Amino acid sequence: MEIPYTVKPRPDTGLYNGKLGIWLFLASEVMLFGALFSSYVLLRVGAEPGTWSMGLMNITVGAGNTMVLIASSMFVVLAWAELKQGNLAGYKKWKWATIACAVLFLVVKWSYEWPEKFKHYDIWLNDTKVLHGKFEKGYHATASREGKSAEEHVNGFYTKRFFKEESKLSNDNFDKAWTNGTLALQGHINAYEEAQINVEVTGWKADAGVSEADAEKVLAKLNAAGSATALLKDGGTVKEKVGYDEAKRAEYALGQAGFEVALRVEDYEKVPAHPWVWRTKRVNEDIGGKPRVRSIFLGLDHSDDGEGHHEEIEIETRHISRLSAFEPKHSTFFGIYYTITGLHAAHVFGGIIVMLYNMLPIGLALWHKDREQFTNRIETFGLFWHFVDLVWIFLFPILYIL
Amino acid sequence: MSDKAEATGTQEAVEVHHDEHEEHHAQSFWRTYVFSTDHKVIGMQYGFCGLAFLFFGFCLIATMRWSMAYEGEAVPFVGPLLEALLGNGVAPGGVMSAELYNVFGAMHGTIMVFMGIVPAAFAAFGNYVVPLQIGAVDMAFPRVNMASFWAFFFGCVIMMVSFFIPGGAAQAGWTSYSPLASVIPTDGQTYWLIGMVMLITSSLLGAVNFLATIINMRAPGMTWLRLPFFVWAQFITAFLLLLAFPPLEAAGILQLMDRVLETSFFLPTGLVVGGQDVDVSGGGSPLLWQHLFWFLAHPEVYVLILPGMGIVAEIIANNTRKPIWGYKFLVGSIVVLGFLAFIVWAHHMYMTGMGTVISAFFQTTTLIISIPSVIILTCLFISLWGGSIRFNTPMLFALAFLPMFGIGGLTGLPLGFNFSDVALHDSYYVIAHFHYVVAPGTIFAIFAGVYYWYPKMTGRKMSEYWGKVHFWSSLIFMNLIFMPMFAQGMAGMSRRMSDGGATYSLANPDNADVTVGALSDTIMGLNVSISAAAWAMLVAQLPFIVNLFWSVKHGEKVESDNPWQATTLEWETPTPPPHGNFNKEIKVYRDPYEYSVPGADNDFSPQAQPAK
């Protein structure tokens, strides 16, 4: 059984099967990315003023990546052209160049563009007055919360500064900028004040089905601060000044052993925050009515003394209405940004796999068996690769510039 | 026109045939029957899975019907099974909880549409019959074809596994509307989305393959207007899948982001669930989901019905012994239908407050799309006129398709007008309407197709007697199930209520006397009769199931490769067709349905038979 038109085009359609198949596949891809672009438009048009978080992308890096992809699109054609002339060595040269571009593109994404965003936080406050007089060096208004033009953005960036001196003018400007959405608090979370918790037991239920000996064993396992007999009888502090996770584990174990447990915040300790480990969830947790995290220390992005030194300010969590890194859940803009660029990156990654396959002996075997079929295979891949490139050419302006 | 006569026609052909036969046998069991790239094996894999899921989906609804008729009572037979398998949280003492009702409701829809009818009507018959009917040796991309089946299979596995996870399977309906679907506290919703992405991927691979095959693999002489109507139907269906499914894939990815990474594509600002603010950024649009969903799901309706129409057209032409009336009208209509299917989707959304201008547009396109549908149905009806009709089992099912689909189509008109849809939206009227289209419509067509092509697949016919028992009982019970639902819907009964509307009826604030429901006893009483009909329907499928398996070994042997004396190319193959299909050169000389041609030797002139 021989399937026809795998190599030579069918005369009346002018296409060999692979080329026809890839065009049909690309048609469906157009619908896939088209739906995502349409979603982008609908979400952006429906966004409330000041909630479309554009203007934070590094345009230079994005533009560089665009050039890299365009170059790769050219290399993929050159590789095919070499094959058409029967030159396998030339094919390999250009194919490696294509692969190198694709890898470079992904490396920029993985090592710089996405991680940077996951390490920076955006903070919404209940009331701006808590920040009056907080700044040591100065703070720039940015246009990041509003889809303003690049020029206005720059103006805002360089003209408005708010200083520590608590003048009425400075404070008024600050509040105004906050209200109209041109001011945003953004930066690294350098450290936070986390609760130091005392785990206390207030009683022990003999009828809970746990024997005294077993309850004592649990206390021993937890390295209880007081004597086990006294704790069983009168209650008292089991653990002093422990972190949240340890306190929660102790609470669970003690509860299982029949104790009535209370967690009490004894003190707060300043903990350096690892930019990758910090997550916003902790801000919403509280222990016995007190916040788990009392305040955060924010290294401000847009503050400097003109020499690039960032400033750190302390903000109490009770003043924070929302806190989020520039991750997908930050806003619908970042949601769609990660979705589309992620899906695009998956296509680039898939492309790299296919290209590598066509460079290995297993893929090259076809060249030695049927040169024309192998050349066709590279051509169809090229069509796919141009499409991936084209998607990025649409992505770059709508996510970085417009 | 027996196999022997053909095969001995040229010595060369016989040898080719034998070589392939050996090659075929040299492959291992796994490569032949499980990981096969042969379109016929893949077609039967799809068919078997599709029929099994149709039955399973039917069992789900049969269980739900108990809850609607006898709410709060333990389900007989399956109640203990539910409790044992799913835990007594969802089925305490064998009683179906409202959550379980929601699970079954959502999964009934999903299974029937995406795991039952699409694989059975489109993928199974398409895979088995289309390459044969166009005279091709296989699909254009056999390995992609296999990948398509396995993507489907794993999608199904994910869907099935989700029944048994804590919290159970998806509960937000097959439409999976956000914000409900995004905040529902079961991972079943997430499984559903991942399963759907797999099923969509499968359909996309299948659609590319079907289109490439039909465009590039037609035998010499098989011009576009010589294609059997079934191939045209599959061709348009594949286009619908190719272009309509990706937006749902995009929507599925976005909803997956909402559930897993806490984005808010479909969650509006200020969303409150269970009295608590949801901690998301907001700014999303629930309407966006509905637009993306229905952009697929309306064309999906045509994906469900077009292959059925194709099957019915084949069988009607064959059993009336005359050409299909208006073949070119059929082809034109189905092309127009395929195009219009993309611009009617928002008629599912009249009640969302999207605005009168948009409603007016979609109302207009919706009514326009009924024109090609009516043309197709009319052509098929007129084809019966003057035919010498053979009332065999496939023909009975095909004949029943016509009025049943007609009822389904005509009752859709009040739903297409937005003024009347306001009253009927989300009521049992809607359920009755679309079930008339897909249940006695498409599913009857699937049955017709199974009875019709069974002899080609196995070399034996299914039992006519039990086929007729199956047909008449199915026809009667089908109507006893769905006809009363029109009345229930028009009386105001909403869908998706686990007690069949009892609480709703009594909770009506306009009704001072709470002992008398807003829905009359007659309407409520129909719940019991419909349920009884549904269970009888379940029993009525047993003859089919037994017949299907029993006839493989014991059915009446067919004496030729063309037992129905049909004209299309699939009957030119040996029975069952070997890997590679044909054992002779195939060339097409004729239109697809040249029955009773004046002056011809027989009352059928096969497409591969040269003109005299």
Q: If you average pLDDT over residues B316-326, what whole number do you get?
A: 95
One-letter-per-residue 3-state SS of B578-612 = CCCCCCCCCCCCCCCCCECCCCCCCCECCCCCCCC
Whole-angstrom distance, CA of residue B384 vs CA of residue B388: 8
Name which of B378, B384, B298, B397 is nearest B342 in CA terms. B298
Whole-angstrom distance, CA of residue B114 vs CA of residue A48: 37
**What mean pLDDT is reported for chain B?**
91
CB of B310 closer than 8 Å to CB of B337: no
- Say whether B142 and A3 touch across the interface (CB within 8 A): yes
**Which tokens sit at B507?**
């909770």
Given a cut of 90, whether residue B75 has pLDDT beyond it is yes
Q: If you average pLDDT over residues B53-66, what whole number do you get?
A: 96
| pLDDT band for position A148 (cuts 50, 70, 90) | very low
CB of B284 closer than 8 Å to CB of B267: yes
Res A181: pLDDT? 64
Given a cut of 50, whether residue B378 has pLDDT beyond it is yes
- Say whether B263 and A332 touch across the interface (CB within 8 A): yes
| pLDDT band for position A179 (cuts 50, 70, 90) | confident
Name which of A107, A72, A61 is nearest A399 in CA terms. A61
Least confident of A126-130, A289-293, B325-329: A126-130
pLDDT digits (tens, 9 = 90+) for B553-590: 999 999 999 999 999 999 999 999 998 899 999 999 99
Given a cut of 50, whether residue B450 has pLDDT beyond it is yes
| pLDDT band for position B432 (cuts 50, 70, 90) | very high
Predicted structure pTM score: 0.90
Q: What percent of chain A has pLDDT over 70?
A: 88
Res A141: pLDDT? 55
Tokens 């994005």 belong to residue: A62
CB of A236 closer than 8 Å to CB of A230: yes
Res B1: pLDDT? 38
**Nearest-CA distance B287 → chain A (Å):** 10
Residues of A in contact with B281 (CB under 8 A): 51, 322, 324, 329-332, 335
Residues of A in contact with B178 (CB under 8 A): none
**Nearest-CA distance A326 → chain B (Å):** 11
Res B520: pLDDT? 86
CA angle A318, A323, A329 (to 5 degrees): 145
Given a cut of 60, whether residue B169 has pLDDT beyond it is yes
Least confident of A223-227, B126-130, B156-160, B407-411: A223-227
- Say whether B137 and A29 touch across the interface (CB within 8 A): no
Residues of B in contact with A47 (CB under 8 A): 283
DSSP SS3 for B277: strand
**Nearest-CA distance B259 → chain A (Å):** 11
Res B358: pLDDT? 93
pLDDT digits (tens, 9 = 90+) for A314-366: 888 888 888 888 899 889 999 999 999 999 999 999 999 999 999 999 999 99
A227 inside 8 A of chain B by CB: no
Q: If you average pLDDT over residues A83-103, what whole number do you get?
A: 97
Res B517: pLDDT? 67
Chain A residue closest to B286 (CA)? A43
Closest Cβ opposite residue B269 in set A13, A31, A48: A48
Residues of A in contact with B215 (CB under 8 A): 13, 15, 20
Beta-carbon contacts of A353 under 8 Å, excluding residues fewer than 6 positions away, are none
- Say whether A32 and B141 touch across the interface (CB within 8 A): no
- Say whether A21 and B144 touch across the interface (CB within 8 A): yes
| Pick among A2, A3, A344 to test the B interface (most B CBs inside 10 A) | A3
| φ, ψ for residue A191, nearest 5 deg | -160, 170
Greatest mean pLDDT among A118-127, A288-297, A388-397 lies in A388-397
Res A161: pLDDT? 54
**Nearest-CA distance B25 → chain A (Å):** 14
Given a cut of 90, whether residue A123 has pLDDT beyond it is no
| pLDDT band for position B4 (cuts 50, 70, 90) | very low
| pLDDT band for position A157 (cuts 50, 70, 90) | very low
B-facing residues of A in 38-57 (CB < 8 A) are: 39, 42-43, 46-48, 51
pLDDT digits (tens, 9 = 90+) for A240-273: 888 888 898 999 988 888 888 889 998 999 988 8
| Pick among A17, A281, A376, A377 to test the B interface (most B CBs inside 10 A) | A17
Res B11: pLDDT? 40
- Say whether A24 and B288 touch across the interface (CB within 8 A): no
CB of A267 closer than 8 Å to CB of A196: yes
If phi > 0 it is left, if psi is from -120 to 50 it is alpha, else beta; for residue B10 that is: beta
B-facing residues of A in 189-218 (CB < 8 A) are: none
A341 inside 8 A of chain B by CB: no
Name which of B518, B604, B520, B536 is nearest B566 in CA terms. B604
Torsion angle in degrees (nearest 10) through CA of B342, B344, B346, B349: -130
CA angle B347, B350, B356 (to 5 degrees): 105
Domain ranges of chain A: 17-118+331-401, 127-181, 189-323
Given a cut of 60, whether residue A140 has pLDDT beyond it is no
Given a cut of 80, whether residue B203 has pLDDT beyond it is yes
Q: What percent of chain B has pLDDT over 90?
A: 82
Domain ranges of chain B: 37-266+284-572
A151 inside 8 A of chain B by CB: no
| pLDDT band for position B17 (cuts 50, 70, 90) | very low
Residues of A in contact with B251 (CB under 8 A): 35
A68 vs B283 pLDDT, higher one? A68
CB of B446 closer than 8 Å to CB of B116: no
Please provide the DSSP assignment of A157-181 as one string: HHH-EE-SS--HHHHHHHHHHHHTT
Res A155: pLDDT? 36
C-alpha distances in Å from residue B572, one per residue of B2, B230, B478, B593: 9, 17, 36, 15
Q: Which CATH architecture has domain B37-266+284-572?
A: Up-down Bundle (1.20)
Tokens 């419909």 belong to residue: B530
Least confident of A170-184, B91-105, B201-215, B269-283: A170-184
**What mean pLDDT is reported for chain A?**
85
Closest Cβ opposite residue B249 in set A32, A47, A324: A32
CB of B606 closer than 8 Å to CB of B590: yes
- Say whether A20 and B244 touch across the interface (CB within 8 A): no
Res B270: pLDDT? 86
| φ, ψ for residue B460, nearest 5 deg | -135, 155
Q: If you average pLDDT over residues B295-308, what whole number do you get?
A: 95
Least confident of B158-167, B169-178, B368-377, B508-517: B508-517
A142 vs B595 pLDDT, higher one? B595
CB of B195 closer than 8 Å to CB of B279: no
CB of B132 closer than 8 Å to CB of B569: yes
Give the number of other Cβ atoms within 10 Å of residue A27's Cβ. Answer: 17
Q: Check if the interface score ipTM surpasses 0.85.
A: yes
CB of A38 closer than 8 Å to CB of A46: no
| pLDDT band for position B26 (cuts 50, 70, 90) | low
pLDDT digits (tens, 9 = 90+) for B34-52: 899 999 999 999 999 999 9
**Nearest-CA distance B255 → chain A (Å):** 11
Res A125: pLDDT? 85
CATH class of this structure's domain A17-118+331-401? mainly alpha
B374, with CB counted inside 10 A (0-12, 13-18, 19+), is middle
B-facing residues of A in 275-304 (CB < 8 A) are: 284
**Nearest-CA distance A3 → chain B (Å):** 7
For residue A376, give the DSSP letter.
H
| pLDDT band for position A144 (cuts 50, 70, 90) | very low
Res A342: pLDDT? 96
Whole-angstrom distance, CA of residue A8 vs CA of residue A20: 12
The residues pairing with A295 across neighbouring beta strands, listed in sequence order, are A193, A316
The count of C-alpha atoms lying within 13 angstroms of the C-alpha of B327, restricted to the half-sphere facing its C-beta, is: 19
Whole-angstrom distance, CA of residue B14 vs CA of residue A311: 87
